[in-house]
Structure formats: structure tokens, C-alpha cells
Amino acid sequence: MTTTRKSAGEIRGNLLDRLRTLAILNRTTNHKRYCSVRLCGCAKLVTACLLGGFVGAQAATLSGTITVPPSRGIRASLTIHDFSTPRTPGHKAFDRQFASKANGTFSITGVPGGKYRICVDAPNENALDPCVWSATQPTWTVTDTSNLTNVNIQVAVGTQIKVHVNDPQNALPQTKGGVHGEALSMTVVTGRSRNHSLRLLSPSPGSSDHYLIVPFGEPVVLNTQSVSLALSDEKGKRVEGDSQQVPLRVPAGGSAPAVIVNVSKR
């Protein structure tokens, strides 16, 4: 004896047929109680099936406040990173971008159960991203059964390392987020030999500004290099090997002038 396994399409079709039959029964009989229980239940079952599953995973809301000393809420761009879902084919991690309000409060819905990290980008506040500079890199655990509220993200304040790029020939490839790859690499290397890429602050025709917020007193080296374009400094002098390293250390309360990089075709 053989058993034929029905496809998902056949199952959905059978459930829809059952729903239509119960609807006819409702019109031809007066079994209101029967209809309200059986028909409604079947409708929910069909809806769940059409959405891709009989019972989906529950999701929660994660909310809280982001502050800088002394406990002042700030507006920031936030990114939540999923640390529970494998980064392999067939798995989809819950990584999302959202923002806090001017008073620092934030809320994100539909968060599946798991462990998460929240990264912070607030150049107007010179807020240090905990995903970059925190030694402990705090995480939060969300469950499927309850919301996670009163998440308080306290970030320190640092100073900006800035690079102004002049590109009058439009030699740099136009890419999303101002990341030019090997055409122009801009990184900051810390004393712990960690590399961090600069972020795009503001693009304009023929030029762009990039930055990374670093702690006060942190010794760093700013690296700019290109494998395909010619680089020169603020005086127009060609950079040897089209690669330069600028050591920087900004004292508390201080600031560093922007490093000027001119880009042209070789």
C-alpha cells in the first residue's frame, strides 16, 4: 500500500474548499453557533496556511532610551543585530535599522526571541558607538512571550576624526553609503590593532566628508590609500605610493582638523 503525500498547494486548496462549504452551510441553515465556531476557526487556519505556516513564531517589542552624560536623551540612528540566528543560507537574521526620538526614546516591534546587540550612530552628538568601542559590547535577550522594555543604552562622548575628499574628476565609483573599496580605503587603526572604516557624513558633487568618532586620548592612525587612483594632500603634493598614515591623538575636550585628500585619475 502506497501513500501519496499532498503538496502545500493541494492542502491550501482543500482548506479553501472546506471554507466555501461551511459558508454555504451558514446560508442554508440557521446554525449560527456552528458557523461562528467552526467557520471562524477554519478561516483562521486557512489564513495562517496562506501566510506560510500553521503557527508562526511569536515576536516582541523592544523599547528603551539612549543617553549621553549626564543622562541626556539623544536622537540617533540605531541598528539591531541578531546574534542568535546562524549567518548561513536558509537562515534570515533579524537585522534592522531604526531611530530614536529627540528625547532618546526608541521602540522596535516584531523582534523574534533571541540575543541582540544595538549599535549607535549619532555624529551630531559625537556619541561613541558601543559596537566599536565598548570592551564588553552589551547584548539584550528577547523572549517570544513578553516585551523587553526600559532598555537603557548609555554611550560616552568622543571626538570626530574627519576626512574631506576632493574628487573634481569624479574618479571615485559612486557607491551606496560612500564606501569606495580599493578605489579609496579610509580606516582608523587603534592601539589595539583594530581597524574601523570611516563613515559617510555628507556627499556633494565632486567631494564628500567622512568621519569616525573615537575616544578622547585614544592613540589612533588614520590610513588612506588607493590601488587605482592618485592621491595628494591638502597642498596638492602627490602622496607616495598613494598611501598615507596620519597618527592622531586628541586630548579631552579637543578636536582634530579634517584631513584633506585629493583624488584624481592616474
- Extract the C-alpha cell encoding 7: 503538496
DSSP 171: -
Last residue of a domain, one of 113, 134, 154: 154
Q: Which three three-digit cell numbers place residue 33? A: 453557533
**The pLDDT value given to residue 30:** 47
pLDDT attached to residue 32: 45
Shared domain for 130 and 109, answered yes or no, is yes
> Same domain, yes or no, for 114 and 80?
yes
CATH code assigned at 223: 2.60.40
What region does 253 belong to: left with phi over 0, alpha with psi -120 to 50, or beta?
A: left
C-alpha cell at 198: 570611516
In CATH, what number is assigned to the domain containing residue 83? 2.60.40.10
Contact 139, 131 (CB under 8 A): no
Long-range contacts, 183-187 (Cβ 8 Å, 24+): 183/226, 183/227, 183/228, 183/229, 184/224, 184/225, 184/226, 184/229, 184/231, 184/261, 184/263, 185/223, 185/224, 185/225, 185/226, 186/210, 186/222, 186/223, 186/224, 186/261, 187/222, 187/223
Statement to judge: residues 136 and 200 lie in one domain: no
Tell whether 261 and 169 lie within a shared domain.
yes
What is the C-alpha to C-alpha distance for residues 42 and 36, in angstroms, rounded to an integer? 10
Block mean pLDDT (10 aa), the chain, length 266: 47 53 48 43 45 55 96 97 93 95 96 95 96 88 90 95 95 72 90 85 90 95 95 96 96 94 95
Q: Give CA–CA dist 162/175, Å, rounded.
A: 19
pLDDT for the residue 171: 92
**Cell digits of residue 138:** 552589551
259 and 186 within one domain: yes
End residue of a domain, out of 154, 186, 215: 154
Reported pTM: 0.72
- Is residue 107 situated within a structural domain? yes
- pLDDT of 175 reads 67
pLDDT value at residue 217: 95
How many domains does the chain fold into? 3
What phi-psi label fits residue 181: left (phi over 0), alpha (psi between -120 and 50 degrees) or beta?
left
Domain hosting 20: range is 8-50
Q: What is the pLDDT of residues 68-92, one digit of tens each?
A: 999 999 999 999 999 999 999 999 9
Residues 85 and 22 grouped into a single domain: no
